Amino acid sequence: MPIEATDTLGIASEKIPEEFLLELPKTDLHVHLDGSIRIPTLIDLAREYHIDLPSYTEGGLRETVFKERYANLGEYLRGFGYTKAVLQSEIALERCAYELAQDNQAEGVRYLEVRFAPQLHVHRHMNAVTVLRAVNRGLKRARDEFNARPTVSGGQEPAFEYGIICCAMRMFREGFSEYFTNLVEAHRYAPSKEVYRLASLELARAAIIARDEYGLPVVGFDLAGEEAGYPAMDHAEAFSYAQKNFLKKTVHAGEAYGPESIFQAITELHADRIGHGTYLLEPDAISDGEIKDRDHYVRRLGEFIADRRITLEVCLTSNLQTNPQMKNLSEHTFRKMRAARLSTTICTDNRTVSNTTVTRELRLAVEHLGLNRHDLKSIIIYGFKRSFFPGSYQVKRGYVRSIIDYYESIERKFFGNNV
């Protein structure tokens, strides 16, 4: 049924059919593999690997683990303990990557960047490259099956493509994985930030090896985890290594902390994109007492990011779930971002943990945040343009052109020449 878009004053402006949103070619540039496992698959793998779950039904897990709202980011992240536990074999990693790609293809996503922390799955039987190769096998199989369709191979519609983003962890402790337990034990008397530095640098090196020696489409390096108390600068060496080896960078920042976190991401880690960036334009979220003129700081930071087209990977449902002070989506800062002409793209973050899809996130933006058809096209196409596409620049330009042509054909199908 049609969705009613509103302008910035909340006045109805046009009808956007949900079928139109579903059929559009889309991206998801911020989606975590371990937060996007199909619940039946989670249950199946838990039984196979003898992992205890609070419930063995989808309804039970929705009630106890994967909730509609969470008290904070920590509670939101609790579900990852279960998904991580079942992703400790090559078979499980390959299966879940394959299914994630299929789920995206089913709703019109044509370019997907899957991110996860390989070191959470490293143990005596799998190193980081082994983990990455398993995930790639699943994604590649789904891509090859999709692109073998006559309409794709015949050029009537664009192909499905993907990239892999490696996530370093801002912090970790014993028990996060066998890899992290061994690392902590080996450096028991070293400062924590030194151990964090070593882990992220080792992952950056593994990412480059996976890309350059094994030909895997590792397209980006990320920093994830709790922001407060775990500054981005502790990981500067790893991001410098990524930079020197032409690996693009995105950083979780401004999700549960203030603008200072985003400042560190772009100045210390040279981020090309920002994961979330929810508090970028919120002076009241600043914690640094040395920043006296908060409004001026936020204005300058926003201008810097806008001028350099550093794209914000916005995850509406996830932000609503993990920020209890945000009572509904109409309060989300996405509207401010658009008014400031910042580069934004709509993402899911975690399809299972947030019980969402890209299509649903776009629909929510239309319903609650004044996204009209012009904005919609700009945001979706910019997702393709600001992707970390694994091919050459010339190949990427051709791919984006095919996406724009296909997008406009869908527009004509639904709206005739009124596009």
Q: Cα(250)–Cα(387) distance, rounded to whole angstroms?
A: 11
At residue 231, the 3 state secondary structure works out as coil
Q: Within 13 Å of residue 176, how many CA atoms lie on the same side as its CB?
A: 23
CA nearest to 135, candidates 160, 123, 118, 111: 118
Residue 222 structure tokens: 């990320």
Q: How far is 391 from 393, CA to CA, in rounded Å?
A: 7
Interatomic CA distance for residues 289 and 273, integer angstroms: 27
> Within a 10 A sphere around the Cβ of 72, how many other Cβ atoms?
12
Amino acid occupying residue 369? L
Place of tokens 């914000």: 312
Alpha carbon distance 402, 408 (integer Å):
10
The CA distance from 179 to 202, in Å, is: 11
Is residue 127 within 8 A of residue 206, CB to CB? The reply is yes
Q: Where are the alpha helices (H) located in 35-176, listed in sequence order?
A: 39-49, 58-64, 73-77, 80-86, 90-106, 128-147, 150-153
Look at residues 84, 78, 100, 3 and name the one whose alpha carbon lies nearest to residue 373. 3
Active site positions, annotated = 255
